[in-house]
């Protein structure tokens, strides 16, 4: 019996685990057959998993395997049609090794192969490294479904409309060509599109715009799950020919999502993560009210943790608990993602650590229900200090003029002794990895210790600025599965690494004393990442910070210069940060920003 | 007075240090004026510096500055013509932000701008991330010089000849179009082409082939110097219309290189690094005789070290000396690159360290004349061990079933205590960075300790396999500016980390006992990188190793399986390796291979 129902198979593949992806695909296929579904659509490059990055360049056997499984999968498609993404060898006499392709399978036969024409090469995308861009042949992009003409596009091919984007990135617009030449009844888009702050706004407006402009419904299927730094939210959807959203799948989980291109009872609309809806019409401006992005950020990070652990065979996480905001938030996110029993928090006080900090760490651990141990590091730092005194004396005889008098070295011994304990635990217990707790504001400042707090197997909050992290902490206290885990004291005390004493106050040095106010810093980061403003421009612009606090132009200039100097220095540290989830619209995460350390930054 | 002399300005720029590059260019320009040179040719993207990678995407001010300096430079060009690479804004309504362009300046006027049409996006190249590929307009590529027509191409545009490459990477061949449409009297190529093993062979044969095929001389100018992992050898050259090499500049240094497209007295031919000439006709096969690549490897690494230090403002290096091959070679290379007085070698014996090792380390340091200290780590490792015993007991109560009984944890405490000392010295003394001493064979095996020997500011030998490193050690003893620095004992003893005792022998565990024979391992790496062979194919192929040693098929299979398993696990470690020079034809260096940690490798 023919009907208009189409299954958008919103699934979570594993890169290069072809058999796993095949079985995932098969599971939904079998269910679809039972439900009398006539067409099943899988995400872009689904059999291979997205993003493969350079492994297919190095290990072509993986691609051979995905071809084998594609053929095996076709055998399963009796009485059903399928669109599925896979990686194809480029057997032509020119061009890169592979095509990013879609197979159209009908009644056990691969009827058509469609090759992606627009290949993203920017930020987290590197498809041009091994895929050849194919000429766009609109006729080849048409399949028949219930006597209707269906046009097929692959992800980026939908992102080049010159009536939507001020400066389209590519030279031609596949959707325009497809509609003008073939007049399809509706369009299907197979995607693998990562989540980022305010991207839902862009995607929604862009797809809606196209559907309306061409009076043609668009069905969009996206994958879910994470690979290293990149997380896909799913949120597959349908726009009708008026550009109205008539169906939307769940976000951040797999979904067996049956839709039609027309308004119909089967089309369900799942809610977006709370707050995201608000951003659909919001202006692009910096704000300290992060409500609109809390649930999405939380889901991005917890999903990234889950998949990094599950897909790589890790089971347990171990981290230092300082009683500060960064480690508290990391512990919170880990407990929610992995289960409290799989998290070990270790309080590792030194002589600078306050009783309050120790108590806060303990209280947090108790609230979360994670394993907790307190291990003083005095014995280790004393031994290191004794050894160092000896080393430094000797070296000073040769290099005396170059010796600093600052106490930085001992400050760092503390951070490195702690990391040594965490890596020791990771070595001693199976499938256990340490967590790097650095946040985005501190990474920009290079305010993290190499082989210390910056060190670990995964860095959950490396793309969350400090002011946003405060908001996230409060949000989790209220909304996470475990409630009120972060003690109020942690949220009230000003951040500080408790590694050094401020000689002016005689108390532990606060981060804002060493750096600059986080509200100001985070705004500089935001302006740099989102508006690409120069320091000169920032000097002229009135900061949100300046509406709240009165500062002189000299002060502002001094902070901007400090920022420039520290960012230049921080490049090296970014290059050896462990992977962590991209959350913001822009980031310094390895998967997105390839920095030349040897260079002269200027902004 | 007109003559045919052209200056190929083989210079070493700094990425994004526009003023520095401008001054470099100016210096050669002034000298050329005095020498009555009529045309000066600078390398690709010279004013900006190559490779900029993502900073121009983030900091457009740098590009504005390079435009400003281009205009300023044009003002200096009275009575002289110049071809110079720079970064141009793409002000068209489509495409990426920038063009990779060449300005033709004559008599203080920018007469022409030429935009690169073929943009490399593979291994260490990422031009497609921010450059737009321009249509190739042959007429715009012609300049007039002494009544001759000169065709201009930019680097990659020369690399797509379908009579030379079996499968050209791009859809059209700019050189072919240029010659057929414009019939230039000779061609000038502005390049920024990194050095790699056997690349001279490819470049030489390719340029010679093109010159001969089109009966058109080719003048090729290349930059020199290093940026992070990438090193340029210079070696600018001229082929006459018969494809014969008639001029070649120095390798691995700047050169004021005056040439003509014709045989003439001013054309000098500098020698290649010793041995490279041999590879010009050599077959592509694995060998343990590395003579052909010793001097080039040495120059690549020492230049990379020099530029990483000089361009980033570092002055001193500190490294651990174990008395083993890796650290000995690193110390050797550092002493030659930075001067012995700027290197500190620290012997940090533990209870496992043999007297022989301690003596070897000391002897090496004396031979090199570097600063040397011996600092036992017992006090630190004892303190860590005491602390850990306490931690592990506590955690075992919760996670007992997951505890390993292996002594890995303590082994690693030694490596991490050593790194802590090195980073401490780096913190205490200005402009000093620690050196990561891991070699390529061990990196493939994941046989390096995170926050231990893998940790540092630069990793000089991360692209040198162990068997090649033995050869390099012997070569340096004979040929480096400091002779015979590595004691014969270091070259004779089998490699081992001296972190653990082999329970079978009661002696320190040797690397080959823990892994597999290095001769076999290095051949697997070579076959994987250069031939992309699968394990199945390797099982069938007769290894060079098998000609020397008799092994069973089971043994071979077991080693290959071990290799596969360890490489999968090593992905994470590669992602947090500090930068180090690319030397081989393929590498796992960050600048070249973007690996997804979350994946299932299969080969």
Instruction: Verify cis geometry, omega within 30 degrees of 0, for the bond prior to A51.
Output: yes
State residue B96 phi and psi, 5-degree precision.
-70, 170
Cα gap B222→B8, rounded to integer Å: 8
Confidence of residue B2 (pLDDT cuts 50, 70, 90): low
The pLDDT, as a whole number, for residue B1 is 46
Mean pLDDT across chain B: 95
- CA dihedral (B6, B8, B9, B10) in degrees, to 10, reads -160
**Is the CB of residue A190 less than 8 Å from the CB of residue A151?**
no
Element (H, E) at B188: strand B186-190
Cα gap A280→B440, rounded to integer Å: 49
Residues of A in contact with B395 (CB under 8 A): 344, 371, 373, 425, 428-429
Whose CA is closest to B223, among B262, B186, B261, B249?
A: B249
Residues A306-365: tens digit of each pLDDT: 999 999 999 999 999 999 999 999 999 999 999 999 999 999 999 888 999 999 999 999
Cα gap A326→A453, rounded to integer Å: 10
Confidence of residue A215 (pLDDT cuts 50, 70, 90): very high
Give the strand order in the sheet containing A148-154.
A142-145, A148-154, A186-190, A218-221, A237-239, A245-248
In this structure, the number of other CB atoms found within 10 A of the CB of residue A402 comes to 15
The distance of A262 to chain B (nearest Cα, Å) reads: 34
Task: Tell me which chain A residue has its CA closest to the CA of residue B18.
Answer: A600
User: What is the CATH number that goes with domain B291-575?
Assistant: 3.40.50.620
Partner A, chain B 31-70, Cβ-Cβ below 8 Å: 49, 51-55, 57-62, 65
Cα gap A408→A72, rounded to integer Å: 61
| Least confident window among A264-273, A396-405, B49-58 | A396-405
CB contact, 8 Å: A240 with chain B?
no
Residues A268-280: tens digit of each pLDDT: 999 999 999 877 6
> Any idea what the Cα angle at residue A121 is, between residues A192 and A51, rounded to 5°?
35
State residue B456 phi and psi, 5-degree precision.
165, -175
Q: Which of A53, A417, A420 has its CB closest to that of B594?
A: A53
Whose CA is closest to B147, among B185, B176, B118?
A: B185
Mean pLDDT across chain A: 95
DSSP secondary structure letter of residue B531: I
pLDDT at position A497 over 90: no
Q: What is the mean pLDDT of residues A472-481?
A: 98
Q: Which of B14, B578, B597 has its CB closest to that of A312?
A: B597
The pLDDT, as a whole number, for residue A1 is 46
Residues A62-115: tens digit of each pLDDT: 999 999 999 999 999 999 999 999 999 999 999 999 999 999 999 999 999 999
Cα gap B82→B22, rounded to integer Å: 13
Q: Does B371 sit within 8 Å of A398, measured CB to CB?
A: yes
CB contact, 8 Å: B170 with chain A?
yes
Residues of B in contact with A310 (CB under 8 A): none
Confidence of residue B400 (pLDDT cuts 50, 70, 90): confident
Element (H, E) at A10: strand A6-10
Beta bridge partners of A345: A319, A372
In this structure, the number of other CB atoms found within 10 A of the CB of residue A505 comes to 10
Residues of B in contact with A130 (CB under 8 A): 122
CA dihedral (B561, B565, B570, B571) positive or negative: positive
Residues B196-241: tens digit of each pLDDT: 999 999 999 999 999 999 999 999 999 999 999 999 999 999 999 9
What is the DSSP track for B260-321? -SS--TT--BPPPSTTHHHHTT--S---S--GGGHHHHHHHHHHHHHHHHHHHT--EEEEE-
Q: What is the mean pLDDT of residues B464-482?
A: 98
The pLDDT, as a whole number, for residue A281 is 64
pLDDT at position A502 over 90: no
The pLDDT, as a whole number, for residue A500 is 84
CB contact, 8 Å: B534 with chain A?
yes
CB contact, 8 Å: A307 with chain B?
yes
ipTM: 0.95
The pLDDT, as a whole number, for residue B508 is 86
Q: Which of B15, B94, B596 has its CB closest to that of A599?
A: B15
Whose CA is closest to A562, among A447, A483, A475?
A: A447
Cα gap A64→B214, rounded to integer Å: 40
pLDDT at position A586 over 60: yes
pLDDT at position A580 over 60: yes
Residues of B in contact with A171 (CB under 8 A): 94-95
Written out in words, the top-level CATH class of the domain with range B6-279 is: alpha beta
Residues of B that are catalytic: 44, 116, 155
pLDDT at position A2 over 70: no
Cα gap A436→A453, rounded to integer Å: 6
Confidence of residue A403 (pLDDT cuts 50, 70, 90): confident
Beta bridge partners of A224: A233
Q: What is the mean pLDDT of residues A379-407?
A: 86
Q: What is the mean pLDDT of residues B32-61?
A: 96
In this structure, the number of other CB atoms found within 10 A of the CB of residue A102 comes to 27
The distance of B222 to chain A (nearest Cα, Å) reads: 19
The pLDDT, as a whole number, for residue A576 is 93
Exposed/middle/buried for B576, CB within 10 Å: 0-12, 13-18, 19+?
A: buried
The distance of B407 to chain A (nearest Cα, Å) reads: 8
Partner A, chain B 555-594, Cβ-Cβ below 8 Å: 572, 575-579, 590, 593-594
Confidence of residue B560 (pLDDT cuts 50, 70, 90): very high
The pLDDT, as a whole number, for residue B3 is 84
Whose CA is closest to A567, among A515, A509, A518, A510?
A: A515
Tell me the fold of A291-510.
Answer: Rossmann fold (3.40.50)
Cα gap B264→B266, rounded to integer Å: 6
Residues of A that are catalytic: 44, 116, 155
Cα gap B267→B246, rounded to integer Å: 7
Task: Tell me which chain B residue has its CA closest to the CA of residue A377.
Answer: B387
Per DSSP, the three-state class of A414 is: helix
Cα gap A174→A137, rounded to integer Å: 9
pLDDT at position B308 over 90: yes
Residues B140-168: tens digit of each pLDDT: 999 999 999 999 999 999 999 999 999 99
Per residue, the 3-state secondary structure of B335-357, as one string, reads HHHHCHHHEEEEECCCCCCCHHH
State residue B183 phi and psi, 5-degree precision.
45, 60
CB contact, 8 Å: A308 with chain B?
yes
pLDDT at position A423 over 60: yes
Q: Phi-psi bin for A79: left (phi > 0), alpha (psi -120 to 50), beta?
A: left
Percent of chain A whose pLDDT exceeds 70: 99
* Secondary structure E strands in B357-477: 371-374, 432-434
Which residues, including other chains, have CB under 8 Å from residue A81's CB and lie 6 or more apart? A38, A39, A40, A104, A105, A106, A107, A143, A145
Percent of chain A whose pLDDT exceeds 90: 88
User: Both tokens of residue A348?
Assistant: 């590792």
The distance of A338 to chain B (nearest Cα, Å) reads: 15
The pLDDT, as a whole number, for residue B282 is 63
Q: Own/partner pairs for B235-242, CB < 8 Å, 24+ apart?
A: B235/B200, B235/B270, B235/B272, B236/B8, B236/B10, B237/B207, B238/B267, B239/B207, B239/B208, B239/B210, B239/B211, B239/B212, B240/B211, B241/B186, B241/B211, B241/B212, B241/B215, B241/B216, B241/B217, B242/B211, B242/B212, B242/B215
Domain ranges of chain B: 6-279, 291-575
């Amino acid at each position: 019996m023919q009907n208009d129902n189409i299954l958008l198979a919103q699934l979570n593949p594993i890169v290069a685990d072809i058999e796993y992806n095949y079985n995932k695909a098969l599971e939904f296929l079998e269910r679809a057959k039972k439900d009398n579904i006539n067409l099943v659509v899988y995400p872009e490059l689904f059999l291979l998993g997205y993003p493969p990055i350079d492994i297919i360049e190095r290990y072509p056997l993986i691609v051979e395997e995905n071809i084998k499984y594609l053929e095996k999968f076709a055998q399963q498609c009796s009485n059903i049609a399928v669109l599925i993404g896979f990686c194809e060898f480029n057997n032509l006499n020119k061009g890169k090794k592979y095509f990013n392709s879609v197979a159209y399978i009908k009644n056990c036969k691969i009827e058509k192969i469609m090759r992606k024409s627009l290949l993203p090469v920017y930020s987290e995308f590197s498809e041009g490294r091994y895929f050849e861009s194919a000429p766009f042949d609109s006729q080849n992009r048409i399949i028949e479904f219930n006597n209707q003409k269906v046009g097929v596009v692959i992800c980026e091919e939908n992102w080049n409309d010159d009536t939507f984007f001020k400066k389209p990135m590519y030279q031609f617009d596949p959707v325009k060509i497809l509609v003008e030449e073939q007049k399809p009844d509706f369009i299907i888009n197979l995607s693998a599109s990562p989540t980022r702050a305010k991207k839902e706004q862009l995607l929604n407006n862009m797809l809606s715009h196209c559907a309306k402009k061409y009076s043609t419904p668009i069905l969009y299927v996206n994958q879910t799950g994470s690979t290293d730094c990149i997380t896909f939210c799913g949120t597959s959807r349908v726009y009708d020919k008026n550009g109205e959203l008539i169906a939307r799948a769940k976000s951040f989980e797999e979904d067996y999502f049956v839709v039609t291109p027309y308004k119909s009872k089967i089309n369900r609309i799942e809610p977006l993560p709370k707050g995201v809806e608000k951003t659909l019409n919001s202006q692009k401006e910096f704000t300290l009210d992060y409500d609109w992005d809390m649930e999405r950020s939380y889901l991005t990070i917890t999903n990234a943790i889950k998949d990094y652990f599950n897909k790589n065979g890790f089971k347990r996480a171990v981290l230092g608990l300082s009683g500060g905001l960064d480690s508290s938030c990391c512990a919170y996110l880990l407990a929610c993602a992995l289960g409290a029993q799989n998290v070990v928090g270790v309080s590792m006080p030194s002589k600078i650590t306050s009783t309050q900090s120790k108590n806060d760490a303990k209280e947090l651990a108790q609230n979360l229900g994670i394993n907790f141990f307190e291990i003083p590091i005095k014995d280790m730092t004393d031994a290191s200090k004794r050894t160092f005194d000896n080393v430094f004396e000797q070296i000073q005889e040769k290099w005396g003029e170059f010796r600093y008098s600052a106490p930085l070295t001992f400050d760092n011994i503390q951070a490195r002794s702690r990391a040594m304990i965490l890596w020791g635990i990771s070595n001693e217990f199976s499938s256990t990895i340490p967590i790097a707790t650095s946040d985005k504001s501190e990474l920009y400042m290079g305010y993290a210790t190499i082989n210390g707090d910056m060190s670990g197997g995964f860095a959950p909050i490396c793309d969350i600025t400090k002011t946003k992290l405060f908001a996230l902490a409060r949000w989790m206290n209220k909304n996470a599965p475990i409630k009120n885990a972060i003690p109020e004291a942690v949220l009230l005390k000003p951040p500080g690494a408790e590694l050094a004493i401020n000689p002016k106050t005689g108390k532990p040095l606060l981060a804002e004393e060493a750096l600059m106010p986080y509200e100001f810093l985070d705004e500089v980061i935001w302006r740099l990442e989102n508006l690409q403003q120069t320091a000169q421009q920032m000097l002229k612009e009135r900061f949100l910070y300046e509406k709240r606090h009165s500062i002189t132009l000299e002060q502002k200039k001094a902070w901007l210069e400090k920022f420039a100097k520290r960012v230049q220095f921080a490049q090296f540290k970014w290059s050896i940060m462990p992977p962590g989830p991209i959350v913001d619209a822009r980031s310094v995460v390895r998967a997105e920003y390839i920095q030349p350390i040897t260079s002269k930054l200027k902004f």
